[in-house]
Structure 1
């Protein structure tokens, strides 16, 4: 029987990073992480069951090769959950550049998980949906939820899930400095694995990140924006330092990335408190208070880089349409 559903999920940016897996088979992370879901970037995905074979269209283009296989393997998980053997047509649209280090896979697989299960009439709790989304893309576990979310590393499949945490008044906002919206030269998955396997600095990053996670939970609970920002920036820089220690070294930075990082430091010196973070890509995300959002945006725009986007905390995943 044909069934269709549409879901919308927003990307998230980790303030305490996820970088490396303890178990690749079921995507158990090496460390717990904490993120901010953004309202600026989203993925809208429609899944319709009842096809003779799986097909995936992203932003108007049919996927093939490994990109298509990754989605098909995820749909296999849904088929097993729903005890069904039919296939699905997946149509997805990103408002976030794909594979540019702006968390398109997080919003993408969170939306896919919600749409595929809703269309298959599989009723999952938010925690179980987070566990399922994790198996498509680790960071998708966090995009199931809005605002601040933690992803617990856990010890097995059932204990590695994300959940929202209360923001006690941090008044967070983020400016995304887009240095290059093109596809990155090495995927997050490949860079993650290479770093974990070859960088002598990786174990130290894992140990320090575990401490950062605990400290961040405390800083959030106290609504200590300064400490939240300091931890956000240092955690990201240490992650990239571990990547530079890989063989061969992994570096996503471009000259304009460095210009933005210097601007963030200059803004702090001048009294505009903000902090930088970077993921697997050259683009820089700047954490600030909502009251400083326009100031930071204007300063970044003056650098004449590829683009600048502002964002406030975004919502969790939502099924906007389901029909049989």
Structure 2
């Protein structure tokens, strides 16, 4: 019988993919079409506490102090069931979660949310999974969450066939070599197309998607070599091109759609201008309008100053490589 504490609280950070995850080959198990690679960030995170008790009559979730409706709980309960079944436990739970990252705005809030919740379930139910095994569970809440169970540069292996455990994540580098990222928060409102819906629509209708897996395989091989060599230039060039290829698949979908907004284009043009002036930096974008500028930490102040001419201070957020999930003491004032 596992050593059940019944309660645990964790902080987990978001991650930004440098080699993108876009498309599932098995939606139920969240098995990706391709492998992907990300950088965990320190600036954005979720703190979550879970409590199991036979006194609870149903699962409840308080997100940013607001109780979620019963119909919104189905996905969360299904996720927690993965851990309950593994532990042989049936007790209902109460979850309190605080997002220190805008929700559903393309800043990977689901990654930190499910990584924090999965880590808390793992400890509270005494499962003692290592990070690799835990990644195969949290992936089934949000695919990108599997990468947030590690810090630094993280590789998500696509795995083979339809075997859930063969698709896992691992840290390949701690990114402790002057790596930084400036997040340009163009719009932190809920985006019009969820990542899940946009991904499915692209896979089903975009003729460009047929080439996507081969492009990712090529980009990933070169990216792994660049990280091993600590070759910032090559890493940045591959990341920027990979992101734009992903967005090209969306533009070619039927009907076409895009997450770009006017300020997204402005931010990309500013990055290109800075490079022409000799300040090396590169942009990437996920399923949302916000632009992430990959740079050296030592250049961050100069890059931020250039962006401050066009963007408000609260739109410019400095980030460094972040850690994997950490146990925390829960404070009711969270």
Place the TM-score, normalised by the shorter chain, in its bin: over 0.9
Instruction: Choose which of 106, 109, 113 in structure 1 pairs with 2:111.
Output: 106
Q: Compute the TM-score of the two structures, normalised by the length of structure 2.
A: 0.93
| Superimposed CA distance per residue, residues 55-87 of structure 1 (whole angstroms, 9 cap, x where no aligned partner) | 011111112265422211101111111111111
- Take 1:17 and 1:66, find their aligned partners in 2: how far apart are those partners? 31
2:217 corresponds in structure 1 to: 210
| Superimposed CA distance per residue, residues 279-301 of structure 1 (whole angstroms, 9 cap, x where no aligned partner) | 00000000001111111112122
Find out whether 1:25 has 2:32 as its counterpart: no
Give the number of equivalent residue pairs.
322
Find out whether 1:37 has 2:36 as its counterpart: no
Q: Which moved more, 1:246-255 or 1:275-284?
A: 246-255
Instruction: Choose which of 156, 159, 169 in structure 2 pairs with 1:162.
Output: 169
Instruction: Choose which of 145, 154, 173 in structure 2 pairs with 1:149.
Output: 154
Find out whether 1:16 has 2:23 as its counterpart: no
Q: Is this contact kept in 2: 1:142–1:149, CA < 8 A?
A: yes
Q: Which moved more, 1:300-309 or 1:253-262?
A: 300-309
Q: Compute the TM-score of the two structures, normalised by the length of structure 1.
A: 0.96
CA RMSD, Structure 1 to Structure 2 (Å): 1.5
Structural mapping, 1:1-324, within 5 Å? 3-50=6-53, 51-64=56-69, 67-155=72-160, 156-167=163-174, 170-305=177-312, 307-321=315-329
Q: Is this contact kept in 1: 2:13–2:325, CA < 8 A?
A: yes
- Take 1:73 and 1:187, find their aligned partners in 2: how far apart are those partners? 20
Shift of 1:170: 4.0
- Local SS of the residue matching 1:201: helix
- Take 1:234 and 1:62, find their aligned partners in 2: how far apart are those partners? 41
Shift of 1:123: 1.2
Q: Is this contact kept in 1: 2:151–2:174, CA < 8 A?
A: no
Q: Is this contact kept in 2: 1:170–1:224, CA < 8 A?
A: no
**Compared with structure 1, are the counterparts of its residues 135 and 311 closer, same or farther at alpha carbon in structure 2 (3 Å cutoff)?**
same
- Take 1:219 and 1:240, find their aligned partners in 2: how far apart are those partners? 23
- Take 1:167 and 1:212, find their aligned partners in 2: how far apart are those partners? 20
- Local SS of the residue matching 1:92: strand
Shift of 1:91: 0.5
